[in-house]
Structure 1
Amino acid sequence: MNAIPLNPTTRPRTRLALAIAAALACATTAPVMAQEAATQGQSAQADEEATELGTVVVTANKRVENVREVAAAISVIGERELENIGANSLADYADLVPGMQVQDNGTAGMTSISIRGIAAISSGATVSTYVDEVPVGSSGVYQAANIFNLDLLPYDISRIEVLRGPQGTLYGAGAIGGLLKYVTREPSLSATEFRVGAGLSSVQEGDQGWNVRLGASLPLQQDRLGLRLSYARNEVPGYTDNMVDGERDINGARQTSARAALLWEGESVDVKLAALHQGMESDTSASVALDPATGAPIGGDFEGRSWQPQPFTKDLDLYSLTLDWDLGWGDFVSATGWSNTDTMYQLDASVQFGEFANLQLGLPEAGASHVRYTLDLEKFTQEFRLSSKSGGRFEWQAGVFHSREDAIQSQFVPLMQRDGSPLPAPFDEMFGVLAVIDLPSEYRETALFVNGSLRVGERFKIDAGLRQARNDQWFSQNVPAGVLAPIGDVPGESEEDVSTWSLAPQYQFSEDTMVYARVATGYQPGGPNVALPGMPPSVDSSMLRSAEVGLKTQFADRRVQLDLAAFRIDWDDIQVAAQFNGIGGLINGGEATSEGVELSAFLRPTNRLQLGLNATYTDATVKSDFESTVIPQPGFDVILNTGLAGDRLPYVPKLAWSATAEYLFDIGRVQGQVGAVLRGMGERLNDTTERQRITMPGDASTILDEVLTAPIELDAYHAVDLYAGIEWDHWSVRAYVNNVTDERAWSIISPINSALTGVTDHWSGVPIQPRTFGLEVDYRF
């Protein structure tokens, strides 16, 4: 999160003890195969939308296509898969997508996504997120898009499409790693549908949860006008405790989803109007206090250490209007979107800043503190797109896209006594508020894009695309009160012109076998930077080039399906956080490469048994030392490198895989299935290496001291999920057990350090979900 003043999760980067003089910091810290069985058990409407003659249809390239004929690596997760595993958030199904990793920061809605090694190491997004035709989330660097990705409660979702590799030509800013697209259920125009359901869940050594949901499709005018309504509420059970006050199961959460969609299908014009609300409220994020010397829990297996509450809330309101006009010779699409996102996240910062009370003010003991981040984003997007009809020798597409974002990020940092009471007079008036900082920002982008597909003969096809974009940004660093940052307003602005392109030839050996190559580029917008010593006034865009070759094939009467892809990515001008004792901003660090191989295999030995395997090998490393930042201090300089040549990129395992098995059965009028998912995650590193050199002022050659801080290693793990379900008449019942063996492992680990002394008090680890039981019942009529 760029330009957040205080970084409670920063690891100890130096032994130097500095009083807090300023505080602007960065808080950054298989596919499930697209097979014909993916939609079994869904409603006829869902089958009609997602399949055709056993073929999965995707819209990720902004036209309806058979996923087997697209020259790109695409994964599709259907509604049925999401229901079977009891998915509530991204972290629940990310392991099923090759090359995709999700770091769970402790609750749904606080997630970081990386695809093919393009790690979320700055405050901007590396994966673009869409709901149908509309992008959501910020393209700028001041809304913490890296850790607050859209994490929909996956109800009333027809499917989720994941495109791997840069998607800059069609999706523009922030799609350097790929695209995550939620495709919602459409209203039925011919039949009335109702669905109601409820469920219970229980976490090992934790609390119990429940959920309710309902949905309806109402044809208002036969074959012309339809309305779809849905609502879901999920009470997520907590399972972590707080060793400071003894509270138990404190990380419970509430998710709500409400949606209304109105669809009109005319003779040549279709119009869809939709409104969606997603709400997330968490009492505190899941965290466990770990011993830095051993990595083992200090207390119980699920005990954290915090002196202040750590609530999290996020509310998204999204409105969209899509017009599809059949011109006869082509199609015109207008996609309009408006969204408002309000996020509040509070972190306990007693370890980081509590020592200000005793070390700076001379009070008898350390105090308590927290950092409250409030982020408000209003986003408007408009896309006009003109496409030729599909199926011709030459297909083309041209469009214009405009985005406008108005946002503000605010921080509030109080200081109090350790028990939460105010500081004694006169310190309460003088130092009761350490920082109040507002960071308003604006982001404007306009882009033109064209794509074309040329067929040469019956077997060869080549796709090409080009996008030209311009973004203009403004921001201001406003400090109205506090003692940690200088009072005043410091504005900044930037502008960029960026071109991205793609080229993808493919050859169809037969109806069921295709090979392709794809070369593409993408970018992550830069922007004006915080006003700090050693920080540049603005940070440039990160640029990425990717080369990929792939094979998609089916054989043995289409009972075996195989997707294989190899890729190499060169990432330049990487935006990274440069931090020193609570002082930080963004810089363009340097270069990295990511190379790997992805495998997706699906086997159906019988009509009742299906097996799947997804695996990815990724080698993502820093190519050369990141650019250094010179931070002047009284009497010396600090030369800071936040990544060294050969470092692995954070939270990218070399090997990750999942294996799936499902058996279908019939007993009289009852149809059912039993299934299992085995997930494997290799070891990861939580950060890159940091090097701090202490030199004479203005003399980098005279090194007085050097400190290297190595990243923390997270162990490999594997977990097993089981599920079963039956359906008869209008009823369906599903049961699942996730993490059957109750594997104990970590999604992320962050050191908790004193900002004054640099001493590490403990590590904070977010565990993977413990063993969880669930039972779901639905009635459709």
Structure 2
Amino acid sequence: MATRMKYITALAVVGATTSVSTMAQELVVEEVIVTAQKREQRLVDVPVAITALGGEEIAQKGLTNVQDIAFAVPGMALREDGPGSYQIFMRGLSNQYGNDALVGVYLDEAPVTLTGYDQLDVRPIDLERVEVLKGPQGTLYGQGTVAGALRYITKSPDLSAYGGSIEAQESFISGGDSREVITGVLNAPIVTDKFGIRIAAHAEEGGGWQDQPQAGIKDGNNQDLRIVRTKALWKPTDALSVEAMVMIHRNESELGLGYEQPDRTVTVAVDRARRLVPKEFKYDLYNLDVKYDLGSAELLSSSTYIDHNHHYPASYIGGSETIYQGALEGTDARRTRAHQFTQELRVSSSGDNFFNYTVGGYYRSLSTSLFSLFDTLYVDGDPTTEDYTVNDPYYDRDTYQSYALFADISFRFADRWEIGGGVRYFEDDQENWDGETFVEKDSFDSVDPRVYASFKATDNINVYASVGTGFRSGGFNRGEASNFEPESLVSYELGSKGVLGGGVFAYEVAVFYSDYKDMLRRGLVFDPATRETSQLISNIGKAEVKGVEVGLTFRPIDRLTLNTTATYLDSEVTEVNAIGNTTNLAGDPIDYVPELSYTLGANYDFDWGATLPGFFRVDYSYRDKVSYIDLTAFPRENTPQYSDDIALLAARLGMKIGQASIELFGTNLTNQNKWIDPYHNWTNANRTRPRELGIKVGYQF
């Protein structure tokens, strides 16, 4: 630990020292504008740790999904169950129990988190930027943002000029199939300065590498992906703007679980030759944002409706290190349907004033249904009983009606000081239905405050301190067991961000301590006589997380940009108040938390001749192994279960020829074949994607 802390500190010291020698150079680090606090601000002015990835940077790094983004943002990790199925963890917080997420996901103003297991798959296509807000965001963003928020900011229609682009890509996966991708963008001002549309379309085929030999399936995790996003912007007056967005997402994959073995094969439970139900991940999203400029403030109404359909298999095998020692395995076909409507109304101050504020209200109506048909194989060693059983179908339906009021107010004084605070009141009314009768009804509420202060040492250097809170709503245990209450988190953060050396050096550093209370843990009991498993989720845990985050960007010469980001996390379950067989004991590390993770990057712009600009980019990311502990499934001597340490190297070379462009790229250049997930003893873990080499051509008009 001491060595790693010294390493991170050295990065900051070296960067700061280097910047002093370049004080005379001109401003070259680009200023970043974000909307993390639901109003436009310079990144350096926001008293929150944020990683902002611009649209061009995302494209040059070759980030194609949220797993790629996780490797580009140290301290972020995923539990992935195939394309479109993610649980996102951040800042040392990971918990797979409960009804909601730990990290909320947003597409512009539209929340695309449905439940903890249902977050819509958003691909980084035609984006302004991605904002990763670290730490609890409960005051402004509500439940499901205990660990942070992930925001995709798309490009809006340009009402002044026609334009667009088309890109085609062909790439080759080591040991797998080729991947074909085509992306097109069209911007059309129908009525100049008044009304226009922007259409982004994306199609992807192939790219698989996983085989199921017993079923004769080759490269079965090929994806057949289609995405169309249309945005229409109407500005009848200078003060009023109305923007509508429709997004259609369709993805299918024959082997859609994403789990694999080191030899890149898929092992299916019960019957190794069984062809699983193909994975289908579909959704339609409709959003309407109405903004009115009040002069000193902006009024916003944002309405979103989502229709989601997810059809997928599940397969599990209790391996040799589990308590079942290979005697339990099962597979089932599942279908999830979800419908969600959200409405947010808020007013925010404009500009950077003596008095700044955001005040609003939020409503959500969500209904979800899950249907599963299980096949289970239990080998009990008794020759007089059958080992193979088919369980009854399982049906579950949940409805949520949520309400919230929130406010955040800050005051600026003595030119450089700002203090602020906010609070959010939340209420969640839930119902659970098993297909025959209403089983449960309950209501949960939470009040979540936030306070912060910042000091502007100069116009481009900000020092801040904050205390923030976050929460996740409660939920149901079936039967007579008590329901579980909301989780809560308090996080204390001290940080600084700024631009030095006349603009050639930018930095961001934060240290934090988080106190995770009412942590949900699971008790699990398997009855060999009935071959049934029962579980109870309770607020019986506490945890602590300490961390350091550093980000540095350096432009030593006009065309060269160097950057590094690093996160060190020390996480621990500190208390488990339970009797019986529970998931964790005090002293255990928190699941899915890498101790050290960092990135290194370099981008060099150059000219091949007077009219042929180009760039060369290299990116390296490293993540420590992550652990998993479940004492209801693994004997103590077999815990923790671990993933691998992962180091990924990528490079890209590009050139523009007038309005055309061509790029050569490679990802995972060293062809690492490592466990991303520690859950592999249940054959429920994904591995790093093999090396991919490709070419992309484009044309802008």
Q: TM-score, normalised by structure 2?
A: 0.88
2:147 to 177, 185, 188: 177
Please state how far the C-alpha of 1:490 moved relative to its aligned partner: 5.5
1:646-684: CA deviation from partner (whole Å, max 9, x where unpaired): 111111110001100111101221111111111111121
1:98/1:600 contact within 8 Å kept: no
Superposition deviation, residue 501 in structure 1: 1.1
- The C-alpha deviation readout for 1:148-167, integer Å capped at 9, x for no partner, is 43331211222111100000
> Residue 303 of structure 1: CA displacement?
5.3
1:540–1:588: 8 Å Cα contact kept in structure 2? yes
Q: 1:644 aligns with which of 585, 588, 606?
A: 585
1:68 to 2:16 alignment: no
CA–CA separation in structure 2 for the residues paired with 1:524 and 1:712 = 26
Q: 1:565 aligns with which of 487, 499, 510?
A: 510
CA distance in 2, matches of 1:61, 1:350: 45
- Deviations along 1:308-332, one digit per CA (max 9) or x if unpaired, are 3343221121111111111234221
Note the C-alpha offset of 1:388: 2.7
Within the candidate set 521, 527, 531, 2:475 is matched to: 527
> Does residue 240 of the first structure (1) align with residue 210 of the second (2)?
yes
| Dislocated runs of 4+, deviation >6 Å | 415-418
CA displacement at 1:441 relative to structure 2: 0.9
Matched ranges for 1:58-97 at <5 A:
58-97=34-73
Quote the Cα distance in structure 2 between the aligned partners of 1:53 and 1:751: 43
Determine which of 230, 239, 247 is the counterpart of 1:276.
Answer: 247
Tell me the distance in 1 between the aligned counterparts of 2:536 and 2:182: 44
Matched, 1:435 2:392: yes
Q: Which moved more, 1:217-226 or 1:577-586?
A: 577-586
Question: Is 1:468 aligned with 2:468?
Answer: no
- Quote how far apart the aligned CAs of 1:557 are: 1.6
From 389, 396, 404, the counterpart of 1:447: 404
Looking at structure 1, the residues matched to 697 and 164 of structure 2 have their Cα atoms a distance apart, in angstroms, of 14
1:112 aligns with: 87
Alpha-carbon distance in structure 2 between the residues aligned to 1:53 and 1:350: 51
The equivalent position to 1:510 in structure 2, one of 448, 458, 471, is: 458
- Distance between the aligned counterparts of 1:83 and 1:568, measured in 2? 34
The aligned runs of 1:388-427 (5 Å cut-off) are: 388-414=349-375
Task: Tell me if structure 2 keeps the 8 A contact 1:225–1:264.
Answer: yes
Paired residues of 1:691 and 1:707 also in contact (CA < 8 A): no
Show the counterpart of 1:605: 556
**Of 638, 650, 667, the match for 1:721:** 650
Change (3 A) 1:615 1:417: closer
- Deviations, residues 414-435 of structure 1 (Å, cap 9, x unaligned): 47999xxxxxxxx9xxx98512
Q: CA deviation at 1:338?
A: 0.7
Q: Is the 8 A contact 1:690 1:708 kept in 2?
A: no
Q: Answer yes or no: is 1:780 the counterpart of 2:700.
A: yes
| Offset of residue 626 of structure 1 | 5.1
1:751–1:663: structure 2 CA closer, same or farther, 3 Å change rule? closer
Root-mean-square deviation (CA), in Å? Answer: 2.6
1:121 CA drift (Å): 2.1
Distance 1:289 1:74, change over 3 A: closer
Whether 2:198 is the aligned partner of 1:231: answer no
Asked if residue 750 in structure 1 is aligned to residue 679 in structure 2, the reply is yes
CA contact (8 A) 2:605 2:615 kept: yes
Is the 8 Å Cα contact of residues 380 and 403 (structure 1) preserved in structure 2?
Answer: yes
Q: Which residue of 2 aligns with 1:344?
A: 311
* Aligned partner (choices 469, 475, 491) of residue 546 of structure 1: 491
How far, CA to CA, are the matches of 2:597 and 2:224 in structure 1? 30
Distance in 2 of aligned mates of 1:325 and 1:440 = 39
Aligned position for 1:769: 689
Partner of 1:192: 162
Shift of 1:528: 2.2
1:679 alignment partner AA: S
Distance 1:78 1:649 in 2: 31
Cα distance, 1:289–1:343 mapped onto 2, change above 3 Å: closer
For 1:217, the aligned partner's letter is: N
1:308 to 268, 274, 294: 274
Cα separation, 1, equivalents of 2:336 and 2:34 = 33
Aligned residues: 650
Match of 2:291 in 1: 324
Do the aligned residues in 1 keep the contact of 2:655 with 2:661 (CA within 8 Å)? yes
* Displacement of 1:236: 4.0
What is the Cα deviation at residue 397 of structure 1? 1.9
- Residues 559-610 of structure 1, C-alpha deviations (whole Å, 9 max, x = no match): 1111110011111111233323332242223101111100001111111111
State the secondary structure of the residue aligned to 1:122: coil
Choose which of 680, 691, 700 in structure 1 pairs with 2:622: 680
Classify 1:347/1:606 alpha carbon distance in 2 versus 1 (closer, same or farther; 3 Å): same
Asked whether the equivalents of residues 671 and 727 of structure 1 are also in contact (C-alpha less than 8 Å), the reply is yes
Query: Of 102, 119, 124, which residue of structure 2 is paired with 1:126?
Result: 102
**For the residues of structure 1 that align with 2:486 and 2:684, how far apart are their CA atoms?**
32
Q: Which amino acid in structure 2 is aligned with residue 531 of structure 1?
A: G
Distance change in 2, residues 1:108/1:464 (3 Å): same
Contact 1:689–1:709 (Cα < 8 Å) also in 2: no
Contact kept? 1:121, 1:650, Cα under 8 Å: no
Matches within 5 A, 1:652-667: 652-667=593-608
Kindly state the Cα deviation for residue 688 of structure 1 after the two structures are TM-superposed.
Answer: 4.5
Query: What is the CA–CA distance in structure 2 between the aligned matches of 1:648 and 1:738, rounded to whole Å?
Result: 31
Query: Structure 1 length as normaliser, TM-score?
Result: 0.79
CA contact (8 A) 2:35 2:41 kept: yes
Tell me the secondary structure at the aligned position of residue 71 of structure 2. helix
- Alignment CA distance shift 1:435-1:749 (3 Å): farther
Residue segments in structure 2 that go unaligned for 5+ positions in a row: 1-7, 9-26, 320-326, 380-385, 527-532
Deviates more, 1:222-231 or 1:92-101: 92-101
Maintained 8 Å contact 2:84/2:121: yes
Distance 1:288 1:90, change over 3 A: closer
The verdict on how the C-alpha distance between 1:780 and 1:626 changes in structure 2, with shifts beyond 3 A counting, is farther
- Please say if residues 214 and 232 of structure 1, whose CA atoms lie closer than 8 Å, have aligned partners that are also in contact: yes
Shift of 1:752: 5.6
Rounded Cα–Cα distance in structure 2 between residues aligned with 1:72 and 1:442: 33
Q: Where does structure 1 lack aligned partners over 5 or more consecutive residues? A: 1-29, 31-50, 291-296, 353-365, 419-426, 479-487, 629-638, 693-705, 754-762
State how 1:583-622 maps to structure 2 within 5 Å: 583-622=534-573
Q: Which amino acid aligns with 1:332?
A: L
Identical-residue share of aligned pairs (%): 26
What SS class does the counterpart of residue 538 from structure 1 fall into?
Answer: coil
2:260–2:686 CA contact under 8 A, matched in 1? no
Distance 1:537 1:243 in 2: 46
Task: Indicate which of 335, 342, 345 corresponds to 1:374.
Answer: 335
> What is the alpha-carbon distance in structure 1 between the residues aligned to residue 367 and residue 471 of structure 2?
21
Alignment of 1:242-261 (within 5 A): 242-261=212-231
TM-aligned CA deviation for residue 514 of structure 1: 1.1
C-alpha change, 1:599 and 1:710, in structure 2 (3 Å) is same
The amino acid that maps onto 2:79 is Q
Residue 77 of structure 2 corresponds to residue 101 of structure 1:
yes
Instruction: Give yes or no for the alignment of 1:578 onto 2:506.
Output: no
* DSSP 3-state at the match of 1:458: coil
Letter of the 2:93 counterpart:
I
Secondary structure at the counterpart of residue 686 of structure 2: strand
The answer to whether the 8 A contact 1:309-1:346 is kept is: no
Which stretch has the larger CA shift, 159-168 or 51-60?
A: 51-60
Separation in structure 1 between the aligned mates of residue 431 and residue 649 of structure 2, nearest angstrom: 48
Counterpart CA distance in 2 for 1:63 and 1:289 is: 44
